[in-house]
Amino acid sequence: MDQIKIGKFIASCRKEQGMTQAILAEKLGISDRAVSKWETGKSMPDSGIMLELCELLKINVNELLSGERIMAELYDKRVEENLLEMKREIEEKNRQMLMTEYMVVIPAVIAGMVIVFVIAFIAMPTWLRIALTIYVTVMIFTVAFIAVGIEQKTGYYECQHCHHRYVPTYWKTNLAMHMGRTRYMNCPKCGKRSWQKKVLTKGD
C-alpha cells in the first residue's frame, strides 16, 4: 500500500471536515503526533480505530486503504485488491517477527554453550561456578519464554483435521509438545489433537 498517498488522502479528508490534527486526534483518543505520522506516510492507522476514523472523515475503509475516493463500479475490484495487499503485508510482518525469534534464540544458545563450556572445563571458585550455572539457567528460560511469546502472537496454528486456523493462548503454546514450530494441541473448533503447523495468514 502507498502510505504517502493514504496519508495525503487522510489530510485532505480531515480538512474537508474542517478538523485540525489535534481535533481529529482528540475525537479518536490518540495523540496529534500519531495523526501527523499518518498524514506524512510514516505509519498507518491501527485496525482498531479505522472504522471510527472513516466515520469521522466520511469515507469507507476501502477508500482509506486506496488513498482515494472510489466510484461505485470500481468498488468491488478495489476491495479485492486491498484485501490481497493487506494479506501480503500481514504475511510479511509475521515472517519478520518469526525471523526476530531466531535473532533472539540463536545468540542466546551460542552464549549458553560458551558458558557451559567454561563451567565444565575451566578451573574457577565454586561460588563463581554456581553463579554462572544460575545465570545460564535463567537466561535460557527467559529466552525460551520470549521466543514462545513471539511465536504464539505471530500468525496462526492450523488443525490437521478440520483445518481451522487460530491463535492459542500463551500457556497452551508453551506447554504443548513441539517439533520446531509444529505443536501438538487440541483444536478449539473440532476438539481433536494433532500436530498443528504454524501458518502466517488466516486463510489462503
Where along the chain do its domains lie?
A: 3-70, 89-199
Q: Where are the alpha helices (DSSP H) in the chain?
A: 3-16, 21-28, 32-39, 47-57, 61-66, 75-121, 126-153, 170-175
Q: What is the pTM of this model?
A: 0.55
- What is the DSSP code (8-state) at residue 108? H
Residue 57 and residue 13 in contact, taking contact as beta carbons nearer than 8 Å? yes
pLDDT digits (tens, 9 = 90+) for 14-51: 999 999 999 999 999 899 899 999 999 998 888 778 88
Answer yes or no: are the C-beta atoms of 139 and 112 closer than 8 Å: yes
Give tens-digit pLDDT for 90-108.
Answer: 778 888 888 888 888 899 9
Tell me 73's DSSP state: G
Looking at 3.10.20.310, 2.30.30.30, 1.10.260.40, 1.10.490.10, the CATH number of the domain 3-70 comes to 1.10.260.40
